[in-house]
Structure 1
Amino acid sequence: MGLYVETHIRGGLDELWAHTQDPALHRRWDFRFSEIDLLPGAEGEPRRFRYATRVLPFLTVAGTGVSAGEKTRPDGTRTSALRFSSGHPLSLIAEGSGYWRYVPDGDGVRFLTGYDYRPRWGAFGGLADRLVLRPLMGWATAWSFDRLRLWVERGVTPERALANWCAELAVRSLVVAAACTGLGLGSPLRLLGPFAAAMAYLCPLLLTLAISVALFKAPLAATPAARRCLRTPPTTRVRAPRLLAALERLS
């Protein structure tokens, strides 16, 4: 699989399964989707669904998919697999597939995903995917996983988590902007008289420190962050579940 994200969530397996398998709950925490709706289907068959992503306030890209899950496995884990595609001409993603694994681990669950997709638009699409979309999708998946973790572990709703992230991003941006402005202003130091020489050295250091803190300080505990998730597999060889292969044959 091309993209991999893993997190550890201190919560029950049934609770995590519900938060990820119920479309109404899934779309609340997953930043990649603005809509997820089940389509009519027979009982016991793989679930078919429609998804949509709001790219711009006036532009929504939609697609369809099929998913299946194994809620009971001999080793105590659970697995969910899906295939998806979009016929929208503005969707860079043509089709793809992936899986979720739920692995009980101590006081919680290792929740991980692996997925990949085929871009459209030929060579230009491949370049745009490699430079822009794929890094963005990896970040959005990890950020969403951490938002899910905050919901299950701490009771921070996805809406509150997003508000926390926006507020913290705004504060960090203001600090960086103010510090950069301060670095560009040398003339006010003349008003300090004899202290001007000392401040000429001290101010740039303090402003540079402020910029470093704003850019690199760890996010607050109730703010989701992609950096908290594992972005590479713990082993060099990762196998997709058999369920995904069965789903591919079905579709």
Structure 2
Amino acid sequence: MGLYVETRVRAGLETLWERTQAPDRHQRWDLRFTEITYLPRTDGEPQRFRYATRVLPFLTVSGTGVAAGERERPDGTRTSALRFSSAHPLSLLAEGSGYWRYVPDGDGVRFLTGYDYRPRWGRFGALADRLVLRPLMGWATAWSFDRLRLWLEDGVTPERARLNWLAELALRALAVVAAGTVLALRPAELSPALAYLVPLLLALTVSAALFAPPSPRTPAARRCLRTPPVRSRAPRVLHTLELPR
């Protein structure tokens, strides 16, 4: 799989499964989706669904998918897999597949995903994917996993977590702008010692704004593992799913 993200959540396996498998819960924490709707199905068939993602205030792209899960496995883990596609002409993402794994680990669960997709628009799409979409998708997945972790471990709702992140982002940006303004407007008659000290303090301020650890109640992609510790294979159930059309 092209993208991999893993986090460890101190929560029960059943609770984590419910927060990730129920569409109304899933769409609250996953930044990649604005809406997820399950379609009617008969017993024994994979679950089909529709999804929508608001890319811009005036642009929403949609697609369809099919998913299947394994709640009971001999090793005590759980797995779900999906295939998805979008016929929307403005969707760079054409089709793809992925999986989630739930691995009990002491008082928590290792929750991990691997997925990949095919971009459209030929060479331009491949370049846009490599430079923009793929890094953005990796970051959005990791950020969302950490938002889910905060919800389960600390009771920080996804909506509150987003507000915390926006507020912290605004404070960091304000610190950078303020430091730049002070540097540009500092008096020319400063003593040599102060003339040297002011840029140093401003550089420290900017560094802190850019690189200081996020608040414990703010989601952060950096908290997630982005490279599999061992070579990871897609679950067998993924190969039983046909690409939705």
Do both proteins adopt the same fold according to a TM-score greater than 0.5, normalized to the shorter chain? yes
TM-superposed deviation, 1:107 = 1.1
Deviations 1:22-72 (A, max 9, x none): 000000000000000011111332110000000111110000000000000
- Which amino acid in structure 2 is aligned with residue 161 of structure 1? A
Could you tell me which residue of structure 2 aligns to residue 209 of structure 1? Answer: 204
What is the 5 A alignment of 1:1-251? 1-186=1-186, 188-190=187-189, 196-235=191-230, 237-248=231-242
For residues 120-150 of structure 1, what are the alpha-carbon distances to aligned partners after superposition, in whole Å with 9 as ceiling and x for unaligned? 0000000000000000000000000000000
- The whole-number CA distance in structure 2 between the counterparts of 1:57 and 1:39 is 26
Q: What is the rounded CA distance, in whole Å, between the counterparts of 1:250 and 1:72 in structure 2? A: 25
Distance 1:46 1:158 in 2: 28
Which ranges of structure 2 fall in alignment gaps of 5 or more residues?
none
Unaligned runs of 5+ in 1: none
How far apart in 1 are the matches of 2:156 and 2:107?
19
TM-score, normalised to structure 1, is 0.95
What is the identity, as a one-letter code, of the residue corresponding to 1:5? V
Displacement, 1:91?
0.2
Q: Is the 8 A contact 2:83 2:244 kept in 1?
A: no
Q: Give the TM-score, by structure 2 length.
A: 0.97
Aligned residues: 245
What amino acid is the match of 1:244?
L
1:248: Cα distance to partner?
3.9
* Distance in 2 separating the partners of 1:189 and 1:34: 52
Q: Percent identity?
A: 74
Secondary structure of the residue aligned to 1:184 is helix
Q: Does the CA-based 8 Å contact 1:189-1:199 persist in structure 2?
A: no
What amino acid sits opposite 2:41 in the alignment?
Answer: G
Please report how far the alpha carbon of residue 182 of structure 1 lies from its aligned counterpart in structure 2 after TM superposition.
Answer: 1.8
Cα separation, 2, equivalents of 1:45 and 1:4:
28
Matches of 1:175 and 1:47 in 2, distance apart? 48
Alpha-carbon separation, structure 1, partners of 2:104 and 2:239: 23
